[in-house]
Amino acid sequence: MKTTSQLFAAMLTLLLLFNMPSALAQDDSNRPMYITVTKAHWNMDYEDFDMDTWKAVEKEYLEKVIKKNDLRVGHSVYLHQMSPSNSEILFVNVYNTWEDIVKANEKDDELAEAAWPDETARNAFFDKQRAYYSPIHSDEIYYTMPLVKHVPENNTKDLILYVRTNHWAFPKDYDGDEIKKLMTDNFDVFIKDNPLVKGYYPHRHAWGNDSSEMIEAYFLDSLADLDKMFDGFSEIAKKKWPNEADREARGKKMGKYFTPEHGDAVYKLVAELSK
């Protein structure tokens, strides 16, 4: 993947707009408000591992439990492509309220008992499911942010998910009005009508390891399109702000909002395991 100073300036202008604690919190109040991300790990010692069998097991649980749980607004699963460990597998769930996170887990238990009323059969299913995973996992909860570009509801493709983790610098000269205007401008310029970006979901820390985190999730058709997107951001910025001095001034102005550090990871959606 390619990164350039022009790309960073363009991205930073866009990225910082979605992690403002107060200015944007009330926008689009009808959207689901929370995302949970469970980072699980494969059981690398499981001798009977079979990807098709794993998918069948998770598909059965999806149909019998998750899809019947109306407290889970969305559910999706992602496999490692380029991330710190090839054992990673992400389980993402979307909820309307904080309370629904707890209630959804309780309802899962009720639905599981209804799906497998025989306790022996139920335990056998979950033993089979758990065999694929290490007992080690981590959980994060995020607030959703406005200006989302939704993946089409009829998507059946295993899209590429590019995750960029940014870190808020907690600037003292934060200006909410300035950011709200820039948010709309930059979403319209870089994301909204960009044919390479099939979906875009920004979210910020609510509970977990790092309160500075602001995450961007980009969905694309392929890794090749990810490179094209990066290159395209630079060209889009030049077209929108043809004066180089204006672009540099804009990037410098926005640079106060985030630390220079960011993280990148790439996963692949398992489309058939989505709600």
| Domain finish residue from 88, 109, 139 | 139
Look up the domain containing 177 and give its range: 5-25+147-273
Question: Based on the domain organization, do 60 and 97 belong to the same domain?
Answer: yes
Residue 230, pLDDT > 60, answer yes
Q: Residues 6 or more apart from 134 whose CB is under 8 A from it?
A: 40, 41, 42, 43, 44, 87
At 27 the pLDDT is: 53
Question: Based on the domain organization, do 120 and 201 belong to the same domain?
Answer: no
| Domain finish residue from 92, 111, 139 | 139
| Domain finish residue from 93, 121, 139 | 139
At 257 the pLDDT is: 81
Tell which wins on pLDDT, 180 or 129.
129
At 175 the pLDDT is: 85
Percent of the chain with pLDDT over 70: 89
Distance in angstroms (rounded) separating the CA atoms of residues 155 and 74: 14
At 28 the pLDDT is: 54
Residues 33-51 have pLDDT tens digits of 999 999 999 999 999 999 9
Question: Based on the domain organization, do 153 and 268 belong to the same domain?
Answer: yes
At 15 the pLDDT is: 42
Question: Based on the domain organization, do 135 and 69 belong to the same domain?
Answer: yes
Confidence label for 9 from pLDDT (cuts 50, 70 and 90): very low
Question: Based on the domain organization, do 55 and 132 belong to the same domain?
Answer: yes
Query: Exposed, middle or buried, 121 (CB in 10 Å: 0-12/13-18/19+)?
Result: exposed
Question: Based on the domain organization, do 45 and 115 belong to the same domain?
Answer: yes
Q: Please choose, from the candidates 136, 156, 158, the residue with its C-alpha nearest in 3D space to the C-alpha of residue 88.
A: 136
The CATH number given to whatever domain includes residue 261 is 3.30.70.100
